[in-house]
Chain A
């Protein structure tokens, strides 16, 4: 067994270093802060949804691993992807869900809005109620594919503890 590989596996939350997660995050950042200003429109609008929904399950699974010390499994990835997709769809399709999300995000953003924009109280974020955005939820399941590819052949994505190689 390769010791370097063992050392890499020892880091909790390292699912976030998966190329798909890194590319999704990079696309999200570049699109939100550069492309949307340079070329506002349908493509850049949808690109953020797809990139964000591809990245967010990775983030949730990594946080889960850091907090619980349990490595991500295909089942956990499927649950996280389904919950993320359902929440996104609800926000786009349901007014109460959208209001709740806008309010909660406004509170979470408030420290930054107060420091940068001078806001004196939390402001609900703006959410476009566009039903066509819901198609982007398929991106949530990229994390499931990534986990499946990472641990092929193991039922439920359960990871066997790495067996140390012979001492050198």
Chain B
């Protein structure tokens, strides 16, 4: 066998090994399925709840996601969906999370969060079923890592909620930012 033939044989085998290695690594990851929801109940549930690729437990940014609130710079606002929407679902838990900028930012007053409301296109209004708030602080004792200030308000929204779905910020937003859109569509605000 010539040296050239040996060289090609070696190259082909090396390429085959690399290909099988990549395929095998991918197959190993893909065989563990991400949590999936059953098919979205078309017509029975609002588009507001339609997940990307039926992922169970997913989130999206509110619009705008970043804004200046009263006494706080909100770095990111996200809308979280923790359960699958099925045909028999009547209410869906939806959590709105606000992360504040700054390493010494205090907690948003709990009363402000409790006063926030969500409204939809039918003119219905919902208050939070629970709220959570904390100021910025160390991740754990003596750690150099600081967790940002964070506030959360959870709502139980009916499965037929109609766009536009808006979060009314009340005292937190003041006059400059009275509300946010929680819908999937809408213009995205550039994050700094």
Contacts and interface: CB of A to CB of B under 8 A. Distances in A.
Contact of A117 (B28, B32, B34): B34
B60 interface: yes
B17 interface: yes
Contact of B57 (A33, A66, A123): A123
A11 B1 contact: no
Nearest to A124: B35
A161 to B, nearest CB: 17
A63 to B, nearest CB: 7
B185 interface: no
Contacts of A102: 32
A32 B78 CA distance: 33
B73 to A, nearest CB: 21
B23 A25 contact: yes
Nearest to B58: A119
Nearest to A106: B34
Contacts of A133: none
Interface in B4-28: 6, 9-10, 13-14, 16-17, 20-21, 23-25, 27-28
A16 interface: yes
Interface in B42-69: 52-53, 55-61
Interface in A100-126: 101-102, 105-106, 108-109, 112-113, 116-121, 123-126
Q: Is the interface of A mostly helix, strand, loop or mixed?
A: helix
Contacts of A58: 24
A11 B13 contact: yes
Nearest to A36: B33
Chain B interface size range: 20 to 34
A77 interface: no
A139 interface: no
A26 B15 CA distance: 17
A45 B31 CA distance: 10
A3 interface: yes
A120 B53 contact: no
Given A16-B21, A59-B25, A116-B53, A127 B13 contact: no
A39 interface: no
B111 interface: no
A106 B32 CA distance: 9
Contact of B6 (A7, A17, A127): A7
B32 A3 contact: no
B30 interface: yes
Contacts of A7: 1, 6, 9-10
Given A16-B21, A66-B17, 13 more contacts: A3-B1, A7-B10, A12-B17, A14-B13, A21-B24, A25-B24, A48-B31, A62-B21, A102-B32, A113-B34, A120-B60, A123-B55, A126-B34
List the 9 shortest-distance A-B pairs measured between CB atoms, nearest first. Answer: A118-B52, A117-B53, A125-B32, A11-B13, A16-B20, A7-B6, A13-B17, A126-B35, A59-B24
Interface of B: 1, 6, 9-10, 13-14, 16-17, 20-21, 23-25, 27-36, 52-53, 55-61, 78
